[in-house]
Amino acid sequence: MRQRWKIWVLVHIAVVTGLLWGSVFLTLDLAHPLAADLRGPLMAYAFFASVAYIILSVLHRIDLGKRLLTPISALTRDIRTLLDAKQIDRALREIDNHGLGQLPDAVGHLVDALRGARREVVRAMATATARVEQEKGWLEVILLELVREGVVLCSAEHRILLYNRPVTQLFRDSHVLGLGRSLFGLVAEAPVRHALERLEHRLQSGSRDLNTRFVCATQDSRTMLQARAALIIEPGGKASGYVLTLEDISDELEELQRNEAVRTRVTRDLRGPVASLRAAAENLTSFPDMEPEHRRAFQEVILNESATLSRHMEELAEEYRGRSEGRWPITEIYSPDLLGCLARHLKTSDDLLIHPRGEDHWLSGDSHSLMLALESLIRQIATTRNLRELELEAGSREKRSWLEIQFSGDPVSNQELATWLEHSMSSLPGLTVGQVFEHHGSEPWCDNRDGGRSAIRIPLQAAGAVVVDGDKLPPRPEFYDFDMMFAHSMTGELADRPLKNFTYVVFDTETTGLKPAGGDEIISIAGVRVTHGRVLTQESFESLVNPGRPIPKDSIRFHGITDEKVEGQPSIEEVLPKFHEFALDSVLVAHNAAFDMKFLKLKEADCGIKFENPVVDTLLLSLLIEGSEEDHSLDGICGRLNLEIQDRHSALGDAMATAHVLVHLVDRLEAMGIQTFGQVMKASNMEAELRFRGGHF
């Protein structure tokens, strides 16, 4: 290397010396004797020396670019990749035939030093957290054995921050479950908001009892859940989120409904014979001429039987009523909470003015269903009596409590009240207003008073001492991201949000061929969620698809999916809506995304859906970061990042690999100063335009 540079220097000195001597002689006086003899040869020498110098300079520049500039550019990209991607296990690529001397070796030593420093940091962090992880493991084992309910931790915006394994079982048929997704994609919204409203009221009133039980249904209304909600309080006293425990009680409620049906049938069937017996007794007493001996016998039989039947009927009704109360989810309700919620809801929804009255005490019941039943009664009264104002009073005596709806107007007949109680509850399918009160051991009755005042009294069970289940340990946390507590307020424009504040669904498809507009079909689709720089491998979607046509052998060579494998699998019209639900409210990501999105777009009309998600292409991101000199295939990028692809050319395997590539690329983009979604979309779209004009698409 040094010898080569010495030759270049000597050649340059010789040429420059010749040019200098030529210039000296050319400036001599033309009358000088030597001038005439040397002018011609010197002119020729100067000309050829100049040409030689130009040629040597061009060759030197070419050699300089090949041996210096290109190696320096490659070395710079390698160093930048190591720094931005924060990798510690990947060495610099070797550069052949360069003119950088000892520079690559020196940089290699610096990289080794950086790698060593990073390893020290990793070891220090591992040592510092080892004890915590050990204790966490102990706690997880304990919690796994103690707690069987599903647990969901949510932010104040109702975004899911944590859930455990029982939750995945409760919602195993739903593709909406995932970190950062809305809780209300899983469960009915109204009962949860009602429970939180009660807890917020308690918080503002200074109460320390910040948990409550209630009943809610899944979003598809197939499953009834018993839930407990507890607020998460910041040091400043503000609620920053809440925890829900969920338990499937559908079987219990079905049994309850069966018991109710049996109780209703038995009591109805018994009342007839009892009434007949009593009527017979009355008839006997109406015939005084009957012989005394016979009369006494009939009277004794009829009275004994009627008393026995009446006693059995009451005992049976009481038994089933007790079973109903015991199995129906019951919790403690603070009367000001219930009356306050009723007043606010009816003011907002019906412009009714409700005046809460009475003493503050605790009731026993299910607040959500009870409030809905009370709202129904109040609306019936207000409509039939043309009222805009009513009073709602709470009272108690010993172990019994009651609520009274008081109003001015015509009295309510028993028949009218019975009609109102038969009104179906749209928010609680299969239940009437009267059945809700029956579940609470209550039978409303009319109380018509003097002065044109009327009331409907609803007896309720008074609660005992309020039991706060604060000693129950939380269940095992398996999937979590606490940073999302404050990251999903959804404020601001989409373009201004940081890249790491999005939830991404990275997906891939396998198809019968490469011509979506030419009849080729999707035969497999898979996706995985990425949030806050973490690939959530547990939150994935994968499905084979029956294309309705034979799969070409040339395609099978790549993905290995045969006609036999897709036989009996769902059609794209069944699969794509489920994937659409899985990707809801997320940014779609794919490698060479235009290809996969074309297949999805062509099926939108057939499936009755529309993909309006923002789309990011990791191929364009790689081009934006590395430039066109590098290999931007998925294999090429993974090779540079030292990422291993599992199950290459399977939809889920490629989606997982692309997800890990995305995480690295986002780190690189942020290091380059491209930190918002708007910036990356503008830059990648510009790169796509340049690539299109260059003929790469």
Just list the catalytic residues. Answer: 649
CA atoms of 658 and 636, how far apart (whole Å): 12
Residue 130 in 3-state DSSP? helix
Token output for 139: 């706690």
CA atoms of 334 and 201, how far apart (whole Å): 11
First-last CA distance in the chain? 42
Between the alpha carbon of residue 104 and those of residues 4, 61, 78, 425, 457, the distances in Å are 19, 21, 11, 77, 90
Residue 410 in 3-state DSSP? coil
Radius of gyration of the chain from its Cα atoms, rounded to whole angstroms: 41
The DSSP result for 482-505, as a single string, is: GGGGGT----S-GGGSBGGGSEEE
Measured from the Cβ of residue 488, the count of other Cβ atoms closer than 10 Å reads: 22
Token output for 138: 């102990």
Report whether 641 contacts 630 (CB < 8 A). no
Name residue, tokens 């790491």: 500
Question: Which amino acid belongs to residue 548?
Answer: G
Name residue, tokens 């084979």: 544
Token output for 199: 């807890």
Report whether 638 contacts 662 (CB < 8 A). no
Instruction: Please enumerate in sequence order all residues whose Cβ is within 8 A of that of 190, keeping only pairs 6 or more positions apart, or say none.
Output: 368, 427
CA atoms of 620 and 688, how far apart (whole Å): 7
Provide the 8-state DSSP code for 275.
H
Question: Which amino acid belongs to residue 462?
Answer: A
C-alpha of 407 from chain center: 47
Q: Residue 408's beta-bridge partner residues?
A: 453
CA atoms of 181 and 185, how far apart (whole Å): 8
Token output for 561: 């999916």
Q: Residue 527's beta-bridge partner residues?
A: 507, 541
Query: What are the CB-based long-range contacts (under 8 Å, 24+) for 657-660?
Result: 658/506, 658/508, 658/589, 658/590, 658/591, 658/618, 658/634, 659/504, 659/506, 659/528, 659/530, 659/535, 659/589, 660/535
